[in-house]
A and B are shown apart, each in its own frame.
Chain A
Amino acid sequence: MREVEAIIERYGAKRRHVIAILQDIQTQFHYLPREALLEVAARVRIPLIDLYSIATFYNCFSLVPRGEHVIRVCLGTACHLKGGTRLVEALERELGVREGEMTPDGQFSFETVRCVGACALAPLVLIDGRYYPKMKQRKLTQVLARLRRARPPAEVTQ
């Protein structure tokens, strides 16, 4: 994979850079493809299991493809009480996928998280790293519609 090679080149094939390398791979592909992990292991001379441990330890890495937009619904204590689960249901209806899955057009993937540290603004939804405080089902639908308009599914070619 040429992209992976370039990323490794950028940091240098050193063990201490693997997290940075994996982060860049994640940004580029929206997940860590298996071939990419194999390649990093071979080039950096680090056991594959160590990479796999890192890749499964941190939440920012994913081993399955993530969509263009990553939607995270908080289900921490405060958000749970304030109706986070209802937002999850609304999203499942809206996107037609279950938690942890990606929409078939590759636009959205949807995950739940435990407390993002802003409980006063519960219930929270994070979309592409942006906080959407005091979320409501209707507002969520609007945000999704806006994201869809910004990049209609037809244009998504991977």
Chain B
Amino acid sequence: MTRLYINGIEVDLEEGTTLLEAVEHLGIEIPTLCFHPGLSAYGACRLCVVELGDGRLVSACTYPVQEGLQVRTHSPRVLRARRMLIELLLSICPGSKRLQDLAAEHQVERVRFSVRDERCILCGLCVRMCAEQMMAHAIGFVNRGYRRRITTPFDLTSDVCRRCGGCLYICPVCELRCQGPEAPSVVCGSCMTPAPTCPPVYEDLACYMGAAGECGTCVRGPRTPDRRSPDFTRRRESV
């Protein structure tokens, strides 16, 4: 058994557990993009960063638990790093609903990098899906550096591909763009505000959630700080 501390909480875990599993074991949520429980961990997207006691930022999905490790999952540094990562990812895959949702969750409201539509964040999920689950080994990374991309050998139609669609299924960015009325933009423009699913409000009493307006669904206002925002963490850390 290995004892470590996650956000100050003491946990004992089997050796060989990853920090991501440890964090999830405690019910703490951290975003992941290139991780899938059915596939080997790869550590490509870095979105699952956590801060260790010595100030290092590591990817939780690939880091094994260590005796006495101090882990912080939502420290200001981690949150800043995550926001930067999301911004960078968005700059190569604008219009990806999944990334835009992450951006909204993390208050990333603009992209300061030149935007180019690569339609792939090189997370390697499709490659692992094809090799580890489909045993097809049809696609893989070719080239390196900024020319790195996913393809089949010699860019030819593969004769080992099973046409299973597993690669498409698992890809976090090849998907239909959000079906809002406005043209796609780099970050979500909130062009669609679906009507709240509340029953009509009569006076203050009709809502079954309690007093009308309490749950916030039917009230549009400035974003309330969620538990991932720095304010929240600071507040929690001072407790």
Q: How large is the interface on B (under 10, 10 to 19, 20 to 34, 35 or more residues)?
A: 10 to 19
Beta-carbon contact of A50 and B140 below 8 Å: yes
Q: How far is the CB of A13 from chain B (nearest CB, A)?
A: 17
Most buried by B among A34, A50, A51, A53: A53
Most buried by A among B137, B142, B152, B153: B153
Beta-carbon contact of A57 and B152 below 8 Å: no
Q: Does B144 contact A (CB under 8 A)?
A: yes
* Chain A residues whose C-beta falls within 8 Å of the C-beta of B141 in the assembled complex: 53, 57
Say what secondary structure dominates the interface of chain A: helix
The contact sample of 25 A-B pairs, CB cut-off 8 A, is A34-B154, A47-B131, A47-B137, A47-B140, A48-B137, A48-B153, A48-B160, A49-B137, A49-B138, A49-B140, A49-B152, A49-B153, A50-B137, A51-B153, A52-B140, A52-B153, A53-B140, A53-B141, A53-B142, A56-B143, A56-B144, A57-B141, A57-B142, A57-B143, A57-B144
What are the 10 A-B residue pairs with the smallest beta carbon separation, nearest first?
A47-B137, A49-B140, A52-B153, A56-B142, A48-B153, A53-B140, A56-B143, A57-B144, A49-B153, A53-B141
Kindly list 11 other residue pairs between chains A and B, CB separation below 8 angstroms, not including A52-B142, A53-B141. A37-B153, A47-B131, A47-B137, A47-B140, A48-B137, A49-B138, A49-B152, A51-B153, A52-B153, A52-B154, A57-B142
Measuring CB to CB, which residues of chain B are less than 8 angstroms from any residue of chain A? 131, 137-144, 152-154, 160
